A = this chain, B = another copy of it.
Amino acid sequence: MNTPSAVLTRADGTPVRVLVVDDEPDLAEVVTGALRYEGWDVRAAASADAAVREARAFRPDAVVLDIMLPDRDGLSVLRDLRAEQPHVCVLFLTARDAVEDRITGITAGGDDYVTKPFSLGELVARLRGLLRRAGMTRERATDSLLVVGDLELDEDAHEVTRGGDLIDLSPTEFQLLRCLMRHARQVLSKTQLLDLVWSYDFGGGAHVVELYISYLRKKIDSGRAPMIHTVRGAGYVLKPAPQ
């Protein structure tokens, strides 16, 4: 789905390395798959000890780390990781109701976290942001900007403009648009959008996607040449409006 040029790479041109640490096999599988699909080099570990061992051998650029592990606390794993690789980026996975004060200290150090249940698109975007800000990749700071035609989306500032006009979007609308923009000129099925934008435990059907597409159209396309197109029986595409 990504064109090769869009793959985030390290300074030396090899794919970014990510270690996924989670003890739930299904979740680990889905996350691993999504990151691999980004073109990254991914390995998985199911416990804290395995994570430390794997990190030593694999030397990842980033670690996706579940805070609730069977054997040890995530924060102690962080200390172990940092002891050997001070510059590794860490993205924590945490339950919503879990204490946030422990985490807030972390984010000050440049790391980030997402709360369960999360969406895969969000996870990938956060990870990309971490890596980019850590200067670990070939992308420049300005590459937080997605551009399709006269439509611009700034992933860092969470800002969207069309033809220079600022457009206010809700969180879900923003994620949906980001997803469409990252795959511009390419039909995405409702299921794909559901899998990327909505959290993995979402029980509902693809109807929500239609609904949010209609919201987006109102905010982005209304009164202008449409950019969001329906492909009946297939899904939706975002394309620059022809002049």
A157: which B residues are within 8 A, CB to CB?
185-187, 237, 239
Q: 1/0 contact trace for A187-211 toward B, CB 8 Å?
A: 1010110111000101101000000
Task: Report yes or no: A196 in contact with B233, Cβ–Cβ below 8 A.
Answer: no
A109 near B: Cβ within 8 Å? yes
**A86 in contact (CB, < 8 A):** yes
Decide: A191 near B78, CB < 8 A? Known: A4-B141, A185-B157: no
Interface residue ranges of A13-39 to B (CB < 8 Å)? 25-26, 29-30, 32-34, 36-37
Known: A107-B192, A109-B33, A202-B104. A185 touches B156 (CB 8 A): yes
Q: Could you say how many copies of this chain the assembly holds?
A: 2
* A75 surroundings in chain B (CB, below 8 A): 26, 29
B contact residues around A170 at 8 Å (CB): 232-233
Complex interface bits, A157-179 against B, C-beta within 8 A gives 1, otherwise 0 = 11000000000001100000000
| A82 at the B interface (CB under 8 A) | yes
Residues of B within 8 A of A82 (CB): 29, 32-33
Q: Which residues of B contact A87 (CB under 8 A)?
A: 36
CA distance A209 to B181 in the complex (A): 32
Bound complex: CA of A154 vs CA of B36, how far in Å? 25
Is the CB–CB distance between A1 and B133 below 8 Å?
Answer: yes
In the bound assembly, the distance between CA atoms of A2 and B4 in angstroms comes to 28
Residues 53-88 of A at the B interface (beta carbon under 8 Å): 75, 78-79, 82, 86-87
A97 CB to nearest B CB, Å:
11
In whole angstroms, what is the CA distance A107 to B188 when docked?
Answer: 10
Chain B residues with Cβ below 8 Å from A111 are: 33
The distance in angstroms between the C-alpha atoms of A232 and B195, with both chains bound, is 22
Shortest C-beta distance, A21 to chain B (Å), equals 16
Asked whether A100 is an interface residue with its Cβ less than 8 Å from the other chain, the reply is yes
Residues of B within 8 A of A108 (CB): 30, 33-34, 37, 120-121, 192, 195-196
A4 to B142, CA, bound (A): 11
